[in-house]
Amino acid sequence: MTKRQTKSRAERIYLSAIRNKAWAKCLIKDAHSGSLRAQHNLGACYATGDFPTDQDLRKAVFWYRKAASAGDAESQYDLGFMILMGEGLRKDIRLALRWLEKSAGQGCEQAQTLLIDLYKNGHYSVRKNPTKVAKWRKLQTVGSGDASKQGEEMT
């Protein structure tokens, strides 16, 4: 199964899991089998409550962290955001920024935009840092084509 097929299957399962307990079981099985997309989507289901169970932010953090630790940029962003907000675990600005920067370094535009905003405006107790604003703006303008390589060079 190719990476694209895996993503498509995981996306279909995610959309179906919102409405169907049997599909939710498939999503859970795929997440436990190591599918990063399934792990991310399971995290999203638990984070939003769009699941045949209630919202569970701790489980969301668990699944986002599992996929993020394996290098999934979208999960790194979502995990960083949850940590920044203190959702599902204690708020930790440094840890949140670390995950957001990993995601942004891989070309995740949402993470890049959030980091620019945080460092420019000092939201959520993040210290203003014009140097980091410039760094993430520069990476953002490069585009996602070779962003992960350039993100590593900039850190």
| Residue 71 belongs to some domain of the structure | no
| Residue 87 belongs to some domain of the structure | no
Domain count, the chain: 1
| Residue 67 belongs to some domain of the structure | no
| Residue 70 belongs to some domain of the structure | no
Tell me: pLDDT of 86 over 90: yes
What whole-number distance in Å separates Cα of residue 3 and Cα of residue 5? 5
Q: What is the pLDDT of residue 19?
A: 64
Mean pLDDT of the chain: 86
Residue 38 belongs to what domain range?
A: 1-59
**More confident call, 154 vs 103:** 103
| Residue 64 belongs to some domain of the structure | no
| Residue 21 belongs to some domain of the structure | yes
Tell me: pLDDT of 143 over 50: yes
Q: What does residue 55 show for φ and ψ, rounded to 5 degrees?
A: -60, 135
Residue with tokens 């957001």: 100
Q: What is the pLDDT of residue 154?
A: 39
What whole-number distance in Å separates Cα of residue 53 and Cα of residue 75? 21
Q: Which of 1-15, 37-51, 140-154 has the highest mean pLDDT?
A: 37-51
| Residue 2 belongs to some domain of the structure | yes
pTM of the shown model: 0.80
pLDDT, tens only, 46-85: 999 877 677 999 999 999 999 999 999 999 999 999 999 9
